[in-house]
Amino acid sequence: MDFFTAQDQARRKTGYLVVLMILAVLALIVVTTLAITIALHLMSGGQPAAQTNLSAQGVWSALSYELIAGVTIAVLAIVVLGGLFKQQQLRRGGRVVAEALGGREINLNTRDQDERRILNVVEEMAIAAGTPVPSVYILEEESINAFAAGHRPNDAVIGMTRGAIRNLTREELQGVVAHEFSHILHGDMRLNMRLISVLHGILLIGLLGGTVLRSMRFRRMGGGKRDNSGAVILALGVVLMLVGYAGTFFGNLIKSGVSRQREYLADASAVQFTRNPQGIGNALVKIGAHTQGANLQAAQAPEFSHLFFGQAVRLGVSQMMATHPPLKDRISRVMPDWDGSFQATWPAAAQAESETPDSGRDTKPVFKGRTLAAVLTAASAQTAISSMGQPGQRHLEHAQATLDALPERIKAAAHEPYAARALMYALLLSEDQQVREHQLETLQKTALPDVYHELIQHAPEVLMLDVQLRLPLIELALPALKSLSVEQGQHFRLCMEQLINADGQVSLFEWTLYQLVLNNLGEQDNRPANLKLSDLQRECRLLLMVLANAGQDDPDEVSAAMTAAEGELPFELAALSPQDDVSDMHALSLAVERLRRVQPMQKSALMQAMARCIEHSGHIRPAEAELFRVVADMLGCPVPPLLIDEPMEEPSSTG
């Protein structure tokens, strides 16, 4: 399944989720109305419940339009308000989920070898997939499990239990992390977050019933034989608890129905990513062999059970409520030759490997001597688009080579909030000596002294970086930048703007860097992606013209690039109007902001047009590749690194 189809299916499943939600709410209204009607009938007339005639006719007589309307309004209010409250809670993205589960964010400069190993794996996977590097949280649980949570790749986090990083080898961790990246790339993660909000309102009814029952402990019963107030409150609490259990049943049924099939796709994508079925397969075997399996002790685990790599909550006899397929089925799909036994080697082998975090791969992987210096050809962009959502082994090797090519001092600095800001400032320093001196003079007055000191320390090395290492460095620094407070983030952006505006103009790279940082640190537009590409012709024309000018100097070549791009669009590209200025980066920002709301399947045509535009000349310049990937990131379409023109295997359609 290609990236755009997966995204579209996830979007359509949101509608399917709404239908299931409506059916569940209707069922709750019926159950609640019936339960309250019976309770009122039993307590009517001041008679003891045991002496009341419980008949269909008697219950029907207690039913009224006022009661039905009142119950409907009450249930809808609880469900809607509960869902909105949860949605507001989850606004910050995956961090909220990780913290609710008791997770601790791993320090980017940790000296714990197990933690360092999982950070290395996540960084490699993120750069290979073309997504921002997510923050990594550890859950102090002995079971083997993991999760991805967030609304979009730029607010995603990866969570991992202590048991997983302690007992899994590097290859097995790669398989698990690749599985979680599949959920990030295919839209499952966002769907899962919506599911949490939607179901919270239903579960809230049960929580309300429990509160009412607990309040009975503090109520003094009395007031005479005809005082039924205590019984009424008790009955109300019982009714709400019963309805709450019904809500839990419907909620779990919806969760299991939505999530099971997506696990098979994520497993298949992990194999495609790593080209190593034994990695994820053996991780699943270890879950089956572990005494605690994938089960979590965290109190909030049931609420987030559909987010995890393995079944996080113990099941009863019935498998109806399982959020994950049976382990044996998952293992057999990725390792058809598996003998069916849950036997694993541990924990000594994993512990020994943790002493050498980068074991299992070459120290300096290369691609036939052309790792970073290769010229990208016309096929590079098309290959990258076909690999969106399902990168392969070559992308992983490229990511490893890229990280190895970055100087150790720079990599260490990217993991520290003060130094990470300094690295971004250094990337914005002009090559012109006079402009650079003006930038430093301005920044010295505004930047924090410690950050300015880090800038002076690292600027010479950053200015010498290969142009192809700039984008990976930004991606690597994002987790540290995300840890900034709101005030620190605002000050950081102010300093960047001063550096960019120092010479009175905004270069394409300055715009690219600023937009990438802003897209990952700023508030996101949550409006639905429901616009048609044909309604945004002016925005398409402006974006493609900027891309064409980034790679061509000859006006005729620019025109030819636009013609090539036009062939991928469902409309003709008109000539630029006088108000269209390709050097106006603010107009470009507004254009991309609108284009990000295009429907997923129509974004495919836009991405193909962008690719045709930059590959028209037969080779792709680094500036074109950077702009192409950053705009794709802003559009919600993360593109893996563009590789040299070598044949790649077709992405697997398994799952």
Q: Is 180 a catalytic residue?
A: yes
DSSP 555-584: HHHHHHHHHHHHTTSSS--PPPPTT--TT-
Residue 338: φ, ψ to 5°: -60, 135
Rounded to whole angstroms, the Cα distance separating 9 from 600 reads: 9
Asked if omega into 48 is within 30° of 0 (cis), the reply is no
Identify any residues that bridge with 376 across adjacent strands, giving them in sequence order: 620
Rounded to whole angstroms, the Cα distance separating 583 from 6 reads: 35
Q: HSE (CB half, 13 Å, CA atoms) of 536?
A: 25
For β-strands 619-620 and 376-377, DSSP reports them as: antiparallel
For β-strands 146-149 and 619-620, DSSP reports them as: unpaired
Residue 556 burial (C-beta neighbours within 10 Å; 0-12, 13-18, 19+): exposed
Rounded to whole angstroms, the Cα distance separating 118 from 121 reads: 5
Rounded to whole angstroms, the Cα distance separating 601 from 608 reads: 12
From residue 377, alpha-carbon distances to 366, 543, 557, 593 in Å are 18, 21, 17, 29
Rounded to whole angstroms, the Cα distance separating 3 from 601 reads: 9
Rounded to whole angstroms, the Cα distance separating 18 from 67 reads: 26
Cβ-contact 237, 209 below 8 angstroms: yes
Amino acid letter, residue 557: E
For β-strands 157-161 and 619-620, DSSP reports them as: unpaired
Alpha helices in 430-507 (DSSP H): 433-446, 449-463, 470-482, 486-500
Of the candidates 303, 116, 84, 280, the one whose C-alpha atom is nearest the C-alpha of residue 182 is 280
Copy the structure tokens of residue 3: 């990236």
SS3 at position 225: coil
Copy the structure tokens of residue 523: 């508030």
From residue 546, alpha-carbon distances to 511, 512, 636, 637 in Å are 12, 12, 19, 19
Neighbours of 457 (CB within 10 A): 14
Length of the chain: 655
Copy the structure tokens of residue 489: 């983030």
Find tokens 């120290």 and name the residue: 363
Q: HSE (CB half, 13 Å, CA atoms) of 574?
A: 9
Rounded to whole angstroms, the Cα distance separating 653 from 432 reads: 50
Cβ-contact 421, 451 below 8 angstroms: yes
- 124, 180, 454, 539: the active-site residue: 180
SS3 at position 111: coil
Positions marked catalytic: 180
